[in-house]
Amino acid sequence: MESLKALPRLVRRQFKAAQEAGDLTFYATQVSILRCNDLPFQLRFSPTLANKPKAKKSEGNTKPVDPFESPQKGLFIANLEPSHYLVLNKFPVIPNHFILATTTFKEQTDLLEEADIEAAYRCLEAYRENGEELFGFFNSGNFSGASQAHRHIQFLPVESMRSGIKPSEEWSVLADSLLKQKDLPFTYFASEISRDATPGQLHELYVKMHQQACLASEKYQISSPTGTPLISKSTRDHESPISYNLGFTDRVMLLCPRVSEGLEIESADGNKIEPIALNGAVLGGTLLVKSEGEWQTLQNDFSKLQHVLGAIGIPPAASSHNEHL
């Protein structure tokens, strides 16, 4: 492959070629900026995404096909030796959305290994060295928005995340703001990243944040009025007992324990709307909806965003506060 320093150009080139060849389906979105406690969130609306093809199942098998077992040639970007490769998202709503996947199958619900963290930060550094920004996120567990069992981390170039936003509207990556801002309706754990941090040190930070999230989840489960089981009994030594999202930039790593995938909200006329489901992209400050009702309701009543964000995680009061490590 070309030097990893050429990664931003390589991703853009492959994305354009894949789109022209029909190897990926890009879903255009309308974008609006909402605010929660003065922090900007981009709301993207793609009605055609509701018709996205469902995951196929292999013949004679009830399990969905693993898209990362043998990646489609037109989506493949590059090998990232020794244990990962890069591939484009087949159904993106943001241009140049790409994925870091393990070459051999590893469970999405197992804790990330040092090699996973190292590979992720190699991608982040490649963009930084080109004067560009990259946001990464990892979904793990039933409440996290995870859709594939094969371990993978997703990446969105920040320039692409700004696509569709009006010049008059202000938006920046949420993850970077959370080193200073704490006023969100869900608990998160954040750590500033030193540019000379070793892969081992980065992995240590991740493990420490995950441990803190497990403790917060245990505490919340005991006091939770809903009785929702948040802690699962692990069947493997390295399986995470909680659902969570991990967010990355080259400046910060943050982790949010999850208690729900989303929230069903009401429109102004009192009608129930399909539940709004969020994945780790929310840590970058972006949400996606697929229905006109969701789109209009969230724009017309900003308090609905507060309710949705509050539903996905542990209330800050229940874990004392949002913590910085």
Q: Which fold has domain 4-48+70-324?
A: HIT family, subunit A (3.30.428)
What is residue 181's predicted lDDT score, i.e. its pLDDT? 63
What is residue 1's predicted lDDT score, i.e. its pLDDT? 38
Helices 114-129 and 7-21 pack at an angle, to 10 degrees, of: 90
Please choose, from the candidates 280, 286, 313, 314, the residue with its C-alpha nearest in 3D space to the C-alpha of residue 108.
Answer: 280
Q: What is the rounded CA–CA span in Å between residue 113 and residue 107?
A: 11
Side chain identity at 324, as an amino acid letter? H
What is residue 32's predicted lDDT score, i.e. its pLDDT? 96
What is residue 230's predicted lDDT score, i.e. its pLDDT? 75
What is residue 64's predicted lDDT score, i.e. its pLDDT? 79
**Residues 6+ positions from 13 with CB-CB distance below 8 Å:** none
Please choose, from the candidates 235, 277, 229, 280, the residue with its C-alpha nearest in 3D space to the C-alpha of residue 107.
Answer: 235
Q: What is the rounded CA–CA span in Å between residue 111 and residue 325?
A: 19
Neighbours of 111 (CB within 10 A): 16
What is residue 2's predicted lDDT score, i.e. its pLDDT? 44
DSSP state of 45: E
Domain boundaries, the chain: 4-48+70-324
- Per-residue pLDDT of the chain (325 residues), as tens digits, is 345 889 999 999 999 999 999 999 999 999 999 999 889 999 999 988 766 666 555 555 567 789 999 999 999 999 999 999 999 999 999 999 999 999 999 999 999 999 999 999 999 999 999 999 999 999 999 999 999 999 999 999 999 999 999 988 999 999 999 987 668 999 999 999 999 999 999 999 999 999 999 999 999 987 775 666 778 776 678 999 999 999 999 999 999 999 999 888 876 666 777 778 999 999 999 999 988 888 999 999 888 999 999 999 999 876 554 555 5
What is residue 291's predicted lDDT score, i.e. its pLDDT? 87
Sign of the CA dihedral running 198, 202, 204, 205: positive
What is residue 268's predicted lDDT score, i.e. its pLDDT? 65
Tens digit of pLDDT for each residue in 83-113? 999 999 999 999 999 999 999 999 999 999 9
- 3-class DSSP state for residue 16? helix
